[in-house]
Structure 1
């Protein structure tokens, strides 16, 4: 494992009360993964990411990165180890009196890199993040997306193994968010960089993450492959996030106006995963069975791990034919759920 986190906790002790910001978190993150951590405000996710590079000191537990126990390092060794852990922030944290070039060069100056090597590295990073021609611009002259590109380039200056992203797209509009997410995917693939994404936006998880952990009140209440969590969320928190992506799917009363017949029909929900989402299942059913199909509602969504989709249909025909049709659909690898409370 690239990163192994064991029983990590953070307790803030205050006069009026103690606050358990992170509570006994255990996670393993593979090299080259884009790992998402999602939770609502106050879930502890930003504290958690700051514990990874010890911007916050843990109350207990350990963080292992590349077989190095980050939680046991002395101050001097930690400073050196942090050079391998890049970090980008929601509000960019740029040096406003420095140009784009100078912002990106700053961590290389601190690391004692020679002027010529600094120049070569900065120009390489400026091209990588798509800011060629803006080298001498100041942050006040840049859009939000461009500022975040500077932040990403600066975080990559010391060739880190890990990139921590704390709500990196929260201050951006939807189109710019997608541009930054596409850039992060490109960097992940080009550099085999392990990325940890902290977010409260399920769209971010859906678009770029391979695996996800769901946090609530300091605890990880669910974790797994993004596709598994999206298709079959187990925790209340995960279900709420998934519902945000397609609220109509979770409001089955919205189907009622589209149902044509009530006595001889069955409403079913079909779950498609991976290649099943691309197959011509409905046309195959119509060719095989004497049945009518009324498509009520559906959606297909891509993730980094594959496509998933749901389709609500009304099957109308002889009872035995409906039963045979459902068995046929199940035999094709598509999950079928009969919806009893809408007909």
Structure 2
């Protein structure tokens, strides 16, 4: 669907050259919600603005349905942009226009007849949950309602791709969840490809299928959200994962909870997908002659399923401990033995 090859953006100032996006290559499948996450200054907002050429790339190519938009002349680009919707952190609404007129605006620009505009606008108002607000002005709306107007406006021309640049950063947590639920619903109903830029790992966790992590203009890690959560490789990704699951980095704090005995092992268990619902600890207690001390645990839901992390201390004879650990591994649960906690 979208193939990005060696994409770069450099800014030249009087005294220096800034590499905002540095040789990024990504493939994004049709119909997926693809997250791009990074801290401030990572280059993620510049990256998303390159996709619809609000920023002109210095190098590289962007292919959407095998058509390279970096080589399109201005007349073709204007037509292509109608199929690339975009929503922004601060809504970018026309404050002198009503909800209805804000949503109708891109249809007016595209020359859609008035009768068809009305039908489309009312359809979108219902889709984003703003029925009854047609004649309200942006100043009369909450932050979440303003973003719903922005989403409806971005969908007006039936885009193939929806770009979301920090679309929930200005919203409170409850409203953020509502907007994310709306994006998931739109993705499923319309089969729309969504590229979501954020600095919040909980946003990635909640709705994205895959994620790319950016740092200093480069993609330092990419993969399915569950894989990235369970086995982060870059330092930046590990910091983001820690925001949602502090247990990943709390091995040093477990010592206070552990018995000072030689006949014990401490293990970290990762439960992924349906295995997160498995009553493994109960199975082990019934099957093996071991004492089990649960130290810490958490379960994190993602779009592709849940994953859980559990730290447990096993107490028993060495041979039985080994059998217990082998049994856990054979169930498909990822087991890490922490011998030096």
Q: Do both proteins adopt the same fold according to a TM-score greater than 0.5, normalized to the shorter chain?
A: yes
Match of residue 63 from structure 1: 62
Match of residue 103 from structure 1: 102
Query: Which segment is superposed worse, 244-253 or 212-221?
Result: 244-253
Match of residue 268 from structure 1: 267
The 8 Å contact of residues 248 and 254 in structure 1, kept in 2 or not, is answered as no
* Deviation per residue, 1:217-266 (Å, 9 max, x gap): 00001101111100001111111110111223312233223223432211
Give the gaps of 5 or more residues in structure 1.
none
* Deviation per residue, 1:263-322 (Å, 9 max, x gap): 221110011111111111111111111000000111111111111111000000111110
Match of residue 283 from structure 2: 284
3-state SS of the aligned residue for 1:266? strand
Structure 2 Cα separation of the partners of residues 54 and 77 of structure 1:
12
Structure 1 Cα separation of the partners of residues 30 and 137 of structure 2:
35
Report the Cα offset of residue 61 of structure 1: 0.3
Match of residue 181 from structure 2: 182
3-state SS of the aligned residue for 1:165? strand
TM (norm. structure 1) is 0.98
Structure 1 Cα separation of the partners of residues 233 and 251 of structure 2:
19
Matched, 1:213 2:178: no
The 8 Å contact of residues 38 and 212 in structure 1, kept in 2 or not, is answered as yes
Report the Cα offset of residue 338 of structure 1: 1.1
Structure 2 Cα separation of the partners of residues 220 and 179 of structure 1:
29
Match of residue 53 from structure 1: 52
Match of residue 235 from structure 2: 236
How many pairs are equivalent?
A: 341
Structure 1 Cα separation of the partners of residues 289 and 169 of structure 2:
51
Matched, 1:136 2:140: no
Report the Cα offset of residue 55 of structure 1: 0.2
Match of residue 166 from structure 2: 167
Map 1:62-81 → 2, pairs under 5 A: 62-81=61-80
TM (norm. structure 2) is 0.99
3-state SS of the aligned residue for 1:130? coil
3-state SS of the aligned residue for 1:183? helix
Matched, 1:82 2:87: no
* Deviation per residue, 1:113-136 (Å, 9 max, x gap): 111100000000000000000000
Match of residue 115 from structure 1: 114
Structure 1 Cα separation of the partners of residues 107 and 70 of structure 2:
25
3-state SS of the aligned residue for 1:36? strand
Report the Cα offset of residue 89 of structure 1: 0.2
Matched, 1:38 2:37: yes
Match of residue 22 from structure 1: 21
